[in-house]
Structure 1
Amino acid sequence: MIRIFIALILILINSAPNLLAGSKSKLDNQISNILSRIPLDTKTGILIYNPLTQDTIFSQNIFSPMIPASVTKIFTTATALSIMGKDYRLSTILFTDDPNIKDGSINGNLYLKGFGNSTLSTEDILHFIYKLKNLGVKEITGNIIGDDSYFDNIYFREDWIPDESANVKLPPISALVLDRNKTVVKRKRGRRTIYVTENFKNPPLNIAQQFKKLIEENDITVKGLAKAGITPNNVFEIAEASIAITDLISMINKHSDNFLAECLFKSVGAFYSGQQGNSFYSQQAIQEFIKENNIYSVNTEIVDGSGISRFDQVTVASVNGVLETMYFDLKNFESFYNSLSYAAIDGTLRNRLSDLPAGFSFRGKTGTLNSVIALTGYLMSDDKDELIVTIMFEFTRGSWNFYRDIQDEIIKVLAEWKKESSDY
């Protein structure tokens, strides 16, 4: 009886590779059948990869350049997290050149300087004013100066990307930001008064003007003017408002926020270079991140932080390389992973993949432009190896919903395959 039992065990052990091979063949057929519904002129790139075993589960066209759309944001956020570290904070700081403000008067200027905090709000500015009042300040003899010199003053993507034709317009990208560099103004239309949203034309000046107005509304006299300018070295900090980089990249990746992504892009350039943030230094930082981590770089060029530009080019292999790099980054993976949209729960994937098998989840980043749709992320499970999944399409026929369904079907098939293969 024992000999029969041992023989059965040996048969199962020897046959396991064949069973797994059969399972892999079945998976290939299932994915190929799903892809067979796609029009022949669609450009497709797919890579399904196990980072722990370094096995390629399925691949197609992984080295050809493709337009990533908002998948570009994983290059921006991964680079930022890697070079700045998960404890980094992006700030806006209020300074004065008066060394003594305990006499109830600031005999000099107030400087509001931005260091890439793209989430500063009117509420934050009011906290600055409350701090002034708590310090007993009743008068400011000098000027209110907005300083955005931490970045260059090339505020629009169209001005730093030659021949850019993307029609998604953003407010000005600046180091000093207030309320996303927009304001609501009253306009007369016939006999009616309407309210419209306008972008700032000159962020440091417009923000200084808003700040001065709020200061005066809170019973502090300002004798000087609102201006744009540079903060000198011999100043004293009064207050600071900041955001953790982990919170910022979560806002960017979960909700695919283009404005915040572009501001972070410039912050990456400033931090990397130790100089004024600009698109050149930002691109250099991302290229260095790719090079240092041995990520496949041929046919990969990132020209903005958001992915709005169709001049952004990546390969499925390079996208996979970013996710694999972050997967093995013990210090930063949790922050990066948690910044991604959680399928069926939040962000751009909140209405997708609600029917994955029990114990499976998907965290990822979507990308959508006209005739472009992309998805990359981690298919995770409670007790099985994780998979990195990247599926990108450039199409001339069909709708975004059609290609989203294709992406979702492939991920569900992968989850079922992982579930079945674990039984062997």
Structure 2
Amino acid sequence: MIKEMISLLSLVFFCFTLNAQSQPTKDWSFNDEISLWKKHETLKNAGIGIFVQDATTGEVLAKTAPQLSLAPASTMKLVTTATALEILGSDFRFETQLAYSGEIKNDTLYGNLVIIGGGDPALGSEYFKEHYLENHFLDQWTKALQALHIKHITGDIITDATIFEEQTIPNTWIWEDLGNYYGAGACGLSVYDNMYRIHMASPAEAGQPTRVLTTKPFIPELELDNQVKSSTVKRDLAYVYGAPMSNQRTIRGTIPLGQADFVIKASVPNPPFLLGWELLDRITSAQITVDGFIKSQGYNDTLSQLTLVSRTLSPTLLEIATVTNYESVNLFAEHLLKYLAFLMNGKGSTKKGTQTITDFWEKHGIDTHGFFMADGSGLSHFNALTAEQMVGILHYMKTQSVEGSNWFCSIPCVPNGTLYHFNPVNFPKNSLRAKSGSMTRVRCYAGELTTQSGQPLLFAVFLNNFDSSHREAIRLIEDLLLRFSKSK
């Protein structure tokens, strides 16, 4: 308690000092501000990375020294989306195909129905309901089969997800994340954001067992071991544990007591199987019968032997990148990473994707010493780069990229997306456009700040292992950015 009071008093004093200096003095400099940060009680043991550059002149206005390689958390998505737009272009669209093998005689398909994944991160996504769900892509596939007058299929429903590697998650993600919605892995055939909802009920007393009511969508063959208890804490503290492609899931933790229908979100164990099941259910309802089963295999070597039935195009890459940066969707970022690997190497893997992105920026003038990329989303604690490297990428996109304007528009402004913590009064008229990143003891921001005099500044602020709450860390960073805003 005493430590917390000291920390709070220190924070109040620090913020008061910043606010008291609302107008720069003649002798004041950004580096004076950085020195003040390093003396702050909650930051004295922290890793601090700050880099600020004038976007017009290229002048470096502030930097911590030495520049440390620090965990960027979700600001890593800026690196991934920038690279994807540079290589693929804003108008690129992913494609998922429905095809068949064999031949059609009368009303019977003597062969298999095949869903060929194209790495679409957003197939059936809640973020794109108008694109996929209002005119449901499964209904479109069903109508395409009906147009061929197919009423019976003798073979199987095959799901081909081989555009990506079989391992859906990076090696360095932690066990606690994997079963939860934000830890959904990137699969060659992803669907519905690779996420399902578990509906639960809790008793009126704390510390008692809860009940699972249902899951939406229905996950076939799912085995749920529910160990969640009711609690007086009024928020979701339940975590889902389980390995990718395994139907066994354990739920631990607590949910608020007295809930008739409390929802927690989890990652789909086997997205291709779920998609095959959903298609089977849809065509069965349309009176098309299937003799076989849902199977997973690759058709990449025999695509010439397949007949195309229907194809589904994704929203544009710019639309996907915008959702990735606004909503911080890990799944989308991991898909982009793996697709770049597929494009460059013929196989979509995390390892090849991180190397592709690192090589790209090295070829475009970024010093990649100390640049360590373990995934595309920033969820891995093994990611590390310097604030200067992040601003170097921002500067390239601002001054050299033909996609730069589009990409910067994909980054949220206060108070949109993940910038809802910031006070819009401090940053009016879209003057702060940034991506946030947070994990345990990590809080980062990177983007563009337009000063009150209209000067654009590019910045990255990385905090690792600070000794305060995230709310306090956010306040420190907001006050620092406000100080920058008033400086020119």
Which is greater in Rg? 1
Deviates more, 1:27-36 or 1:380-389: 27-36
- Looking at structure 1, the residues matched to 58 and 444 of structure 2 have their Cα atoms a distance apart, in angstroms, of 23
Show the 5 A alignment for 1:127-146. Answer: 127-146=140-159
In the alignment, what sits opposite 1:8?
none
**1:228 and 2:287 correspond:** no
Report deviation, 1:96: 1.9
Show the 5 A alignment for 1:273-312. Answer: 273=345, 275-312=346-383
2:321–2:410 Cα contact (<8 Å) kept = yes
Show the 5 A alignment for 1:337-352. Answer: 337-344=408-415, 346-352=416-422
From 66, 70, 94, the counterpart of 1:66: 70
Q: Which amino acid aligns with 2:177?
A: V
In the alignment, what sits opposite 2:261?
none
Report deviation, 1:147: 0.6
Question: Aligned-pair RMSD on alpha carbons?
Answer: 2.9
- Looking at structure 2, the residues matched to 136 and 108 of structure 1 have their Cα atoms a distance apart, in angstroms, of 15
**1:363 and 2:436 correspond:** no
**1:118 and 2:121 correspond:** yes
**1:203 and 2:271 correspond:** yes
Structure 1 residues 31 and 287, CA gap change in structure 2 (3 angstroms): closer
In the alignment, what sits opposite 1:154?
167
Aligned length: 391
Q: Which amino acid aligns with 1:58?
A: A
Aligned residue for 2:68, secondary structure, equals: coil
In the alignment, what sits opposite 1:253?
325
Identity %: 22
Q: TM-score, normalised by structure 1?
A: 0.83
Report deviation, 1:83: 1.4
**1:168 and 2:172 correspond:** no
Deviates more, 1:210-219 or 1:125-134: 125-134
- Looking at structure 2, the residues matched to 22 and 396 of structure 1 have their Cα atoms a distance apart, in angstroms, of 29
- Looking at structure 1, the residues matched to 36 and 145 of structure 2 have their Cα atoms a distance apart, in angstroms, of 67
Q: Which amino acid aligns with 2:190?
A: V
Report deviation, 1:295: 0.9
1:360–1:415 Cα contact (<8 Å) kept = no
Aligned residue for 2:303, secondary structure, equals: coil
More helix by share: 1
- Looking at structure 2, the residues matched to 23 and 267 of structure 1 have their Cα atoms a distance apart, in angstroms, of 51
Deviations 1:167-214 (A, max 9, x none): 322234211012123446899999977114664444333422332122
Report deviation, 1:106: 3.1
- Looking at structure 2, the residues matched to 354 and 376 of structure 1 have their Cα atoms a distance apart, in angstroms, of 17
Aligned residue for 1:341, secondary structure, equals: coil
Q: TM-score, normalised by structure 2?
A: 0.73
1:83–1:272 Cα contact (<8 Å) kept = no
In the alignment, what sits opposite 1:265?
337
Q: Which runs of 5+ in 2 are unaligned?
A: 1-23, 125-132, 203-208, 216-264
**1:97 and 2:101 correspond:** yes
- Looking at structure 2, the residues matched to 147 and 187 of structure 1 have their Cα atoms a distance apart, in angstroms, of 34
Structure 1 residues 329 and 212, CA gap change in structure 2 (3 angstroms): farther
- Looking at structure 2, the residues matched to 383 and 100 of structure 1 have their Cα atoms a distance apart, in angstroms, of 69
Deviates more, 1:113-122 or 1:375-384: 375-384
1:47–1:60 Cα contact (<8 Å) kept = yes
**1:56 and 2:60 correspond:** yes
- Looking at structure 2, the residues matched to 202 and 34 of structure 1 have their Cα atoms a distance apart, in angstroms, of 46
From 284, 287, 291, the counterpart of 1:219: 287
Aligned residue for 2:114, secondary structure, equals: strand
1:67–1:312 Cα contact (<8 Å) kept = yes
Report deviation, 1:334: 2.0
In the alignment, what sits opposite 1:106?
109
2:103–2:111 Cα contact (<8 Å) kept = no
From 213, 224, 232, the counterpart of 1:194: 213
**1:412 and 2:482 correspond:** yes
Structure 1 residues 359 and 178, CA gap change in structure 2 (3 angstroms): closer
Report deviation, 1:153: 0.3
Q: Which runs of 5+ in 1 are unaligned?
A: 1-20, 419-424
In the alignment, what sits opposite 2:85?
81
Show the 5 A alignment for 1:389-400. Answer: 389-400=459-470
- Looking at structure 1, the residues matched to 427 and 174 of structure 2 have their Cα atoms a distance apart, in angstroms, of 43
2:84–2:340 Cα contact (<8 Å) kept = yes
